Structure 1
Amino acid sequence: MIVCHCGVVTSGDIAEAMIGGARTVGEVCRRTGAAQSCGTCYFSVRQVVCQHEQHAQPVAEEAVRAAS
């Protein structure tokens, strides 16, 4: 799904940026180019970041348990 039409940034691009180490909406925007032109997609980017964090948290917790 395209999240930022100006920069043609998809939700997959956002997920990749987060997997690559981006931890804030600002970092995601800088890495992907989202919200750099008009900014109207900022809240959509934030929503995708929050969804990715919610999905990643249980996976990270399971990895910690498995390593213990």
Structure 2
Amino acid sequence: MYVCVCNGVTDHDIRQAAAAGCRSVAELTMRTGCGATCGTCLDFAAETLEQARAQPIGCVVPLPVLSQAA
């Protein structure tokens, strides 16, 4: 999912940055460009980064299962 549409940064990009040692939103912006244009995404980017840093490395968070109409 895109977190920063202006710079094309996804939640996956943020998780990768966290796994590579990114510790703050300022550092995330320097690494990915997330929030560098309009800044609207910064709250969600910070939340995503915090959640990613809280996960053990290699931990896979399951995606919700969508039911299909029969």
TM-score, normalised by the number of residues in structure 1: 0.75
Return the alpha-carbon distance in structure 2 between the equivalents of residues 56 and 43 of structure 1: 22
- The one-character-per-residue Cα deviations of 1:7-55 (angstroms, maximum 9, x if unpaired) are 0100110111111221111111110110000000000100101111221
Code of the residue aligned with 1:6 in structure 2: it is C
2:29 paired with 1:29: yes
2:68 paired with 1:51: no
2:3 is paired with a residue whose SS is strand
The 3 A distance-change label for structure 1 pair 42 and 18 is same
The structure with more helix, counted as a fraction of residues = 1
Unaligned runs of 5+ in 2: 60-70
Structure 1 outlier segments of 4+, above 6 Å? none
The answer to whether the 8 Å contact 2:19/2:53 transfers is no
1:38 is paired with a residue whose SS is coil
The answer to whether the 8 Å contact 2:6/2:37 transfers is yes
CA RMSD of aligned residues (A): 1.6
2:36 is paired with a residue whose SS is coil
Identity of aligned residues (%): 36
